Amino acid sequence: MSADIDRGGFMEQTDQPARYHVRFTLGQRYLHAVVFSTFIGLALTGLPLRFSHSAWAEGFAHAVGGFAAILFFHKFCGVLLTAAFLIHLGDLFRRGAIKKEKGIFWGPDSLVPRGKDFVDLYRHIRWFFWRGPRPKFDRYAYWEKFDYWAVFWGMAIIGLSGYAMWFAPLAAKIIPGSWLNIALVLHGEEALLAVWFIFVVHFFNTHLRPGSFPMDLVIFTGKERDKEFQEKRPVEYERLRQEGRLEGEMTTVAPARWLKNFGRIVGAAIIVTGFILLVLTLATFFNA
């Protein structure tokens, strides 16, 4: 496949086939697919409950077969997302405790925040106001780390409170029954935060911002074009180059066209669904 067929956001200047680098493994991409599918499923079936007195919530509930169907699907997605969360934790444990990959807990390849992230945030904001150059980001930029930890914290809070309500009498053996009141507040408010955050901040930062618009396909293909990699994460690019890893096993050819199209269709569907939910929930929230 030659470069000119491959119309990304970044046209190559040469006739050379574009070079691609692996950013996400197949396992990570599958896990993300499970996370976003179930997230949308949970949002679709959870938001009608959070806004149960709005007309669209009632209409949606009727359309999909009533609350019984909604609850079943909500629990189904919840269990799948829990499984994905546990698989991720298991993977962290395997890489951290068994394979002793120290890099996943600290350093440039880790999602754990470090000093540079705060400096990057400060410089990024200065750049917003034409007060300095754009900061050079490493493998995970500060907003990507925030995305990760927001979802991590969200899944823990929403998951625990959700299971507490699902198995309420059982949960009451551990926690007082009055905490079930708190569980609903935590579940609903954290979910609303998660939904609005993902549908506004994550969608923009990762997909819709100029530079990635209309979407960053790397989470579907796992691969990123050399030039895009260099421009988005120059620090990591330079490090790999110096370590001589830029030419190694992580370098590959362009992703298959079907995979990119698949990513575009699925991604667009998710983004559109997200925006519809965003508009509906915002309208209801500020009308109440």
Using the structure block, give the residue that is written with the tokens 């509930």: 61
Pick the stretch among 14-22, 56-64, 74-82, 264-272 that binds other proteins (CB under 8 A). 56-64
Kindly tell me which residue out of 192, 235, 259, 266 binds other proteins, with binding defined by CB under 8 A.
Answer: 192
Kindly tell me which residue out of 110, 205, 251, 273 binds other proteins, with binding defined by CB under 8 A.
Answer: 205
Q: Does 197 interact with other proteins (rule: CB under 8 A)?
A: yes
Q: Does 201 interact with other proteins (rule: CB under 8 A)?
A: yes
Q: In the bound complex, what is the minimum distance in angstroms from residue 17's beta carbon to other proteins?
A: 21
Q: Which residue from 37, 36, 46 is spatially nearest to 187, judged by alpha carbons?
A: 46
How many other CB atoms are found less than 10 A from the CB of residue 41?
17
Q: Which is nearer to other proteins, 80 or 165 (CB)?
A: 165
Q: Which residue from 245, 239, 157, 233 is spatially nearest to 193, judged by alpha carbons?
A: 157
Residue 110: partners with Cβ closer than 8 Å, 6 or more residues away: 103, 104, 140
Cα three-residue angle 20-139-196, rounded to 5 degrees: 105
Q: Does 109 interact with other proteins (rule: CB under 8 A)?
A: no
Q: Does 204 interact with other proteins (rule: CB under 8 A)?
A: yes
Q: Identify the helix (H) or strand (E) that includes residue 148.
A: helix 142-166
Cα three-residue angle 13-222-149, rounded to 5 degrees: 120
Contact footprint for other proteins (CB under 8 A): 10, 48-50, 52-53, 57-58, 61-62, 66-68, 70-71, 124-125, 127-130, 133-134, 136, 143, 146, 150, 165, 168-170, 172-173, 176-178, 180-182, 184-186, 189-190, 192-193, 196-197, 200-201, 204-205, 209-211, 231, 234
